Amino acid sequence: MSTVATPRPPSTSSSSPSSTAPAASGRGRLSVDWRIRFGVLSVIWGFSFLFIKLGTDGLAPPYVSFGRMFFGAAVLIVALVVKRQRLPRSPRTWGHLAVAAFLCNAFPFTLFAYSELTISSTLAGVCNATTPLWGMVLSLVALSEDRPTRRRFAGLGLGFVGVLVVLGAWQGFSGQDPKGTVMALVASASYALGWIYVRRTLSDTGDPHLSLSGGQLLVGAVQLAVVAPLLSPLPSALPAVPLLAVFALGALGTGLAFLLQYGLVAQVGPTTATMTTYLIPLVATAAGVLLLDERLTWNTPVGALIVLAGAALTQSKGGKGRTLAAGRGATPAAATDEDEAGRPARPAQSAQS
């Protein structure tokens, strides 16, 4: 998810009645609007795992991921045209975007699609929630400004205990496919690694966030267009339901969700925006059980709550830092603070402490 600095609050000066009334009115409109964005974003991202499952019913995983990237990029390109912004021009920036697209999008999207051939969409959604745990482990190695604390280490341990509960470790992981589960966990770790790469390389390019993100998805779509035929034969047919699921996955779960996410961060800041992390697996579980008739045992929701509690602790910091939400495909906006025109201004500082 994108992380940008929290916008400055409106002035509360009492020099005149006219200076206070608009501010109060603006806050009233804000409280309604951000809750709508928050709810819609949580539902869209939670349903992404259902869309993946439906997509893989008729299309090979590489083509599910390609369609996701293609339709997601199309939404952002349209947004670029509407806002009259251009894609990045620097070859160096495009090189970094290619790496970011692989780590944040092409690779994890494809792994999740493969994983849902053998595991439930519910389990995939819970595995996705481990991204902050991987983010803490990797950031301690790669980011010198992230300092470990007892609370964050406790969160890391608690989170991985939650994973073991979800998998039913005391039963020898019976009923769970180890290969599919590992692929989902590796995909979540790739999100975290990609977030760190974006933060280190794309935070000061001078390009608008939408330009960078559109470029990243476009490069990822090209990557998968080349690789997908090497991994699986071209589809001989395009069944309606899987195709519609992939369209929804890309246009809604990747393209529109990014626009909603950025608007949410701009309104209420990264701390509140990243609370979607804690609703995504709950929505994914409800969607899988109610709409796909997936089997749910007690250890899945209990383990998911433990994972989310651990993730919350790993995001608790004593100093300045950035938040890392459950991975939904990091974009360059995750590493920058932006001015009113959407231009990166300086490295963002999380409001979370």
Is there a contact between 332 and 201 (Cβ–Cβ < 8 Å)? no
What pLDDT is stored for residue 12 in this prediction? Answer: 37
What pLDDT is stored for residue 149 in this prediction? Answer: 78
C-alpha distances (whole Å) from 24 to each of 13, 29, 148, 340, 343 are 12, 9, 40, 21, 28
C-alpha distances (whole Å) from 269 to each of 30, 34, 212, 259, 332 are 12, 10, 20, 15, 16
Dihedral sign computed on CA atoms, order 300, 301, 306, 310: positive
Is there a contact between 234 and 116 (Cβ–Cβ < 8 Å)? no
Partners of residue 336 on adjacent β-strands: 347
| Residues contacting residue 70 through CB under 8 Å, at least 6 positions apart | 221, 250
Report which of 327, 332, 343, 322 is spatially closest to residue 96, judged by C-alpha positions: 332
Mean pLDDT in residue range 167-181: 75
Q: What angle do CA 62, 112, 156 make, to 5 degrees?
A: 150
Kindly tell me if the per-residue pLDDT of 219 is higher than 90: yes
181 token code pair = 């589960």
What is the per-residue burial (b if ≥16 Cβ within 10 Å, else e) of 53-84?
bbbbebbbbbbbbbbbbbbbbbbbbebbeeee
Partners of residue 95 on adjacent β-strands: none
Kindly tell me if the per-residue pLDDT of 143 is higher than 90: no
Determine how many CB atoms are found less than 10 A away from the CB of residue 321.
19
- Percent of the chain past pLDDT 70, that is, above it, reads 75
pLDDT band at 317; cut points 50, 70, 90: low
20 token code pair = 């206070």
| Residues contacting residue 114 through CB under 8 Å, at least 6 positions apart | 61, 180, 183
Choice among 33-37, 142-146, 250-254 with the minimum mean pLDDT: 142-146
Q: Please provide the size of the chain in residues.
A: 353
**DSSP 8-state assignment for residue 331:** -
Kindly tell me if the per-residue pLDDT of 180 is higher than 70: yes
96 token code pair = 């970094």
Q: Per residue in 221-271, pLDDT tens?
A: 999 999 999 999 999 899 999 999 999 999 999 999 988 888 787 788 776
Mean pLDDT in residue range 348-353: 33
- Amino acid residing at 36: I
Kindly tell me if the per-residue pLDDT of 4 is higher than 50: no
Choice among 31-40, 118-127, 165-174, 250-259 with the minimum mean pLDDT: 165-174
| Residues contacting residue 9 through CB under 8 Å, at least 6 positions apart | none
Mean pLDDT in residue range 196-223: 91
| Residues contacting residue 311 through CB under 8 Å, at least 6 positions apart | 129, 130, 131, 132, 133, 155, 159, 277, 278, 326
Annotate 270-319 with DSSP letters as a single string: HHHHGGGGGTHHHHHHHHHHHHS-----THHHHHHHHHHHHHHHHT--SS
Which residue did the predictor score with more confidence, 34 or 47? 47
Choice among 63-72, 310-319, 327-336 with the minimum mean pLDDT: 327-336
Partners of residue 346 on adjacent β-strands: 337
Q: Which contiguous run of DSSP H or E holds residue 43?
A: helix 17-55
Kindly tell me if the per-residue pLDDT of 1 is higher than 70: no
What pLDDT is stored for residue 156 in this prediction? Answer: 81
Cα 119 to Cα 111: distance, rounded to the nearest angstrom: 12
What pLDDT is stored for residue 329 in this prediction? Answer: 60
Burial of 137 (0-12, 13-18, 19+ CB in 10 A): middle
The overall average pLDDT reported for the chain is: 80
Kindly tell me if the per-residue pLDDT of 106 is higher than 70: yes
Partners of residue 338 on adjacent β-strands: 344
Burial of 259 (0-12, 13-18, 19+ CB in 10 A): middle
Partners of residue 344 on adjacent β-strands: 338
What pLDDT is stored for residue 11 in this prediction? Answer: 39
Kindly tell me if the per-residue pLDDT of 9 is higher than 90: no
Q: Per residue in 195-206, pLDDT tens?
A: 889 988 988 888
